[in-house]
Chain A
Amino acid sequence: MNWLFGLFEPGHALGLLAMSPPGWGGALLTGLSHTLEIAIGSYILGTAIGVLGAFGKLYGGPIIKDLLAIYTTAIRAIPELIEILLLYYLVPDIVNRFLLSMGRPRIDLPPILVGTLVLGFVLGAYMTEVLRGAILAVPHGQVEAARAYGMTPLQIARRVTLPQMLAYALPGMANLWLNLTKDTALLAVIGFNELTETALQAGGTTKAFMLFFTAAGILYLIISALSGRLFALAERRARRGQPNIRGGGI
């Protein structure tokens, strides 16, 4: 193993990737952690919006349905890059105007917070559609049975609809997660130092663009491979009560 680590020493083949400066390995890993932080934060936010949005679209009043239709259509029709840029200026602007009107001083929102909010808001539109489809796939008799037992709508959601729809939603949710980890790269455009931006900076400093973009690409591939496995496990667990169709009696 020693020869392997030796490659990463300064002055050797991959010395530019050494963990401490002048190597850029540590900086890349910091970028990776920023990418993951933003991705996880906005995934949680987007899923929360998606659950509310899906229930709103299915069971909400007519006005809520129309508003949600506008939200999901508009968000999905405009390029993410433009949405991110637009909201990146808009969100701090609105917050500061609100603060000024309350007589408080302006604040500088940290970019990581704004990035998370923006990506979460965008993801929410896609998540709404995925979860709406999954909720519709839950056999209606089950919801009726729950209602016949006298469960409140919240209880039905918690006990019947949400656990059951998870099996149908997880493939779509996995896709959205993979897209999200890649969409975090768009924050590079507004100068946020996540993985892609760090790789660009490292390449710009050392002129070894190929090396750093390849290294960053491998890190992205590792994320997607690992999370693919995790989602497969989660889906198997969510499906544990369902009959196995493959090799079934159909």
Chain B
Amino acid sequence: MRALIKPMLLPRRLFLLAVGIAIVAWAILTLDWSWLPTYVANGLLLEGLWTTTYMLVLSWAMGLFLAIWLGLAQAAGPWYVALPAKGFCSMIRGTPLLLQLWFLYYGLGSLFPQFPWIRESWAWAYLREAWPYGLLALTMSFAGYEGEVMRGALLGVPKGQLEAARAYGMPRLTILRRIWLPQAIRRVLPTLGGETVLQLKSTPLIATITVLDLYQVSLQIRQDTFIIYEPLLLLAVLYMFYTGLIVLAFRFIERQVPAKLG
């Protein structure tokens, strides 16, 4: 904690800090925040925050799970598995997420209603909504980017370790679980933090397909009140706070894991 505070006590930093506080005070006092209590009270802001959170967490977890298989397919799979995996990763990484999202929502989503048996099935309740398409697009995007990272990490694990495990007679899945994956995950941890922040910053795109996330809430506030800057500023602050939280969490996780790689 002292290491954090001490560099802030230099005169020029104190001055910058004062300027920062002055700007914040100016923003609080002179900008129009009269809308804020209403939208906290009617729960819209909280709902947006919740949607953004679960979209991030779910797409992160499912995307990472897919990414492990995509990485494995590229690193160790035969060509008929490796090639599609590589193609998927290049396709995801080569096109904008917004395009993928709209492709799924407008393109795929407009195909489903043509089939009566889909409309009568249990899945229709979900396929009618927008958020499954958002979640799918975010998951695929994270899987595509992380799959490439996982491939590098899996290839980075020393071959001798895998050979030793095989010599012990471990089955292939056990090798993966005990030796290969843990070391690969340790290798991706530093990049994973950055990628998670990038994923957080991609979530507002789902507002373009009418999912009520944090960003969509701010758009709604703008529509209701004709106030442009204040909702966006609040949004920026919230996302910065979120980013800080993710960075701190990953710093904590990284400290739990021994750094030495063999």
Residue positions of A touching B, CB distance < 8 A: 62-63, 66-67, 70, 74, 76-83, 85-86, 89-90, 178, 182-186, 188-189, 196, 199-200, 203-204, 207, 209-210, 213-214, 216-217, 220-221, 224-225
Residue positions of B touching A, CB distance < 8 A: 10, 12-13, 16, 90-91, 93-100, 102-103, 106-108, 110-111, 197, 200-205, 208, 215, 228-229, 232-233, 235-236, 239-240, 243-244
Residues on the A chain within 8 Å of B100, using CB: 217
Q: Establish whether residues A210 and B103, one from each chain, have CB atoms under 8 Å apart when the complex forms.
A: yes
Residues on the B chain within 8 Å of A217, using CB: 91, 95, 99-100, 103
Q: Which of B98, B215, B239, B240 has the most CB of A within 10 A?
A: B98
Residues on the B chain within 8 Å of A216, using CB: 95, 99
Ordered by A's residue number, 7 sampled pairs between the chains whose C-beta atoms are within 8 Å are A62-B10, A77-B239, A77-B243, A79-B200, A81-B201, A183-B96, A185-B96
Q: A89-B228, A196-B96 are in contact. Are A77 and B107 (CB under 8 A)?
A: no
Q: Which of A182, A209, A224 has the most CB of B within 10 A?
A: A209
Q: Establish whether residues B98 and A188, one from each chain, have CB atoms under 8 Å apart when the complex forms.
A: yes
Minimum CB distance partner of A217 in chain B: B95
| Residue in A63, A70, A85, A196 whose beta carbon sits within 8 Å of that of B98 in the complex | A196
Minimum CB distance partner of A222 in chain B: B94
Q: Establish whether residues B99 and A185, one from each chain, have CB atoms under 8 Å apart when the complex forms.
A: yes
Q: Establish whether residues B106 and A209, one from each chain, have CB atoms under 8 Å apart when the complex forms.
A: yes
Complex CA–CA separation, A178 to B90 (angstroms): 12
Minimum CB distance partner of B13 in chain A: A66
Residues on the B chain within 8 Å of A89, using CB: 228-229
Minimum CB distance partner of A66 in chain B: B16
Complex CA–CA separation, A178 to B34 (angstroms): 41
Residues on the B chain within 8 Å of A186, using CB: 96, 98, 205
Minimum CB distance partner of B205 in chain A: A81
Complex CA–CA separation, A224 to B16 (angstroms): 41
Residues on the A chain within 8 Å of B200, using CB: 79
Q: Establish whether residues B96 and A78, one from each chain, have CB atoms under 8 Å apart when the complex forms.
A: no
Complex CA–CA separation, A35 to B13 (angstroms): 41
Residues on the B chain within 8 Å of A200, using CB: 102, 106
Residues on the A chain within 8 Å of B107, using CB: 203, 209-210, 213
Residues on the A chain within 8 Å of B201, using CB: 78-81
Complex CA–CA separation, A76 to B197 (angstroms): 9
Residues on the B chain within 8 Å of A204, using CB: 106
| Residue in A78, A80, A82, A196 whose beta carbon sits within 8 Å of that of B102 in the complex | A196
| Residue in B99, B215, B244 whose beta carbon sits within 8 Å of that of A82 in the complex | B215
Q: Establish whether residues A185 and B98, one from each chain, have CB atoms under 8 Å apart when the complex forms.
A: yes
Known interface pairs A199-B102, A214-B103, A217-B95; 15 further A-B residue pairs with C-beta atoms within 8 A, sorted by A's residue number: A77-B240, A78-B240, A78-B243, A79-B204, A79-B239, A82-B215, A82-B236, A85-B232, A86-B229, A182-B95, A196-B102, A200-B102, A220-B94, A221-B90, A221-B95
Complex CA–CA separation, A225 to B95 (angstroms): 11
Residues on the A chain within 8 Å of B13, using CB: 66
Q: Establish whether residues B228 and A77, one from each chain, have CB atoms under 8 Å apart when the complex forms.
A: no
Q: Which of A76, A81, A207 has the most CB of B within 10 A?
A: A81
Min CB distance B114 to A, Å, is 11
Minimum CB distance partner of A219 in chain B: B95
Q: Which of B16, B94, B96, B208 has the most CB of A within 10 A?
A: B96
Complex CA–CA separation, A250 to B202 (angstroms): 43
Min CB distance B249 to A, Å, is 15
Q: Which of B107, B110, B202, B205 has the most CB of A within 10 A?
A: B107
Q: Establish whether residues A213 and B12, one from each chain, have CB atoms under 8 Å apart when the complex forms.
A: no
Q: Establish whether residues A81 and B96, one from each chain, have CB atoms under 8 Å apart when the complex forms.
A: no
| Residue in B93, B110, B244 whose beta carbon sits within 8 Å of that of A209 in the complex | B110
Q: Establish whether residues A209 and B103, one from each chain, have CB atoms under 8 Å apart when the complex forms.
A: yes
Complex CA–CA separation, A213 to B102 (angstroms): 8
Q: A66-B16, A80-B201 are in contact. Are A221 and B94 (CB under 8 A)?
A: yes
Q: Establish whether residues A78 and B95, one from each chain, have CB atoms under 8 Å apart when the complex forms.
A: no
Residues on the A chain within 8 Å of B243, using CB: 77-78
Residues on the A chain within 8 Å of B215, using CB: 79, 81-82
